[in-house]
Structure 1
Amino acid sequence: MTRQERALRTRRMILEAAAEMFNELGYDATTISGLIDRIQLTRGGLYFHFTSKEELARGVLEEAISLDGFVPQAFKLQEWADLALLLAHRLPREPVLSAGIRLSVDIKAREMFGTRWPDWTEMGNEILTEAKDRGELLPHVDPCETARLFVGAWTGVHLLTEVLPDGDLSKEVSGLLALVLPNVACAGVLAKLDTSPYRAERLLVAAGVPQPS
């Protein structure tokens, strides 16, 4: 392993450990000292990669937009659904992704760093706008409004699922899509969309993306 590879691996290990602490403790209660104890790294070794807790939070948020497993589809609405399903499958398994949402709902962290919700909304808006241009959407559907409301609904479903006994985010988001899509998709397109809670796992396997346990 080269020095650069070791440095990248160490940086990733630090970021994932910090993300786990943000998830468990929240932003305010997470400390550099606690992180050093957890990962058994010297303070100098940590500061080589991240000089502060604020920089760690920004590093987490930088990775909150991830398209692993996403591939173009025949229908843009399928791509839109795939984004929602892929994130639902990956988020409980990837601390950095879940910490991005945790920081976004933390008032203090949100005031300091903002959120990636506008980026997800814009991505959805671009896909839905193209879907409308292709005739996949019902005439009354506003792509921007739909993208914004869906990001809000997806986030709410995630937060609720966390406190449900045996909550399964993939199944809940699949259910959300089953409610939303009939109100936005043309009938001929709707019948051809796959919103199974297992679709994301199949996409990731087909793309050769390593699957966390």
Structure 2
Amino acid sequence: MADSAAEARIDQILVARALLGDDRRAFEQLVRRNQGMVRAQLRRLLQGDEAAADDLAQETFLLAWRKLGQFRSEARFSTWLHRIAYGCFLQACRTKSWAARHAQDDEMEHLPTPVQAMDLRLDLARAMRHLSTAEQTVLLHCAQLGLSHEEAAYVLAMPLGTVKTHATRGKAKLKTWLAAWHAAGEERIP
């Protein structure tokens, strides 16, 4: 936790330097410190599409530079970036070309293969698709990206209680689905 607090202080100092002196090098350091986290979030939201994730990460940081003066330190800088990245993702989802391209990919993902039957990780991904969009999004941010419920509420612009409800319901559904997967696996073992 101390490391997290120290990291947040470093980000605040860099933000102040970028704002007070129009210091682009300070902002470049912020980008370097946070780009992996932003790309990871976007890759997960985009189901592994690295090219699209990189494009949206670049858009996220351009938008962050333009809006840096609006950062009020109400949340950690990284949480603020998560929010911007999620907004860029939602905007991309609204464009027809992006949605059409990924609709074809989703159809291909529903074809089961022997590897999918053997790999829990793929089964988890398949199970996630059975959750509501809100449950998927909350679990992505809380379980996979490690945000607290409060941070996820900020990023997703949802009430805290709603985030907690989606997290609880999503986890319960996954637990039930994966228990059935585990039971089926035990039946196959001689």
Instruction: Please tell me the TM-score bracket, short chain as reference.
Output: 0.3 to 0.5
Higher relative contact order (CA 8 A, sep 6+): 1
Identify, as 1 or 2, the structure richer in helix: 2
TM value normalised by structure 2 = 0.34
TM value normalised by structure 1 = 0.31
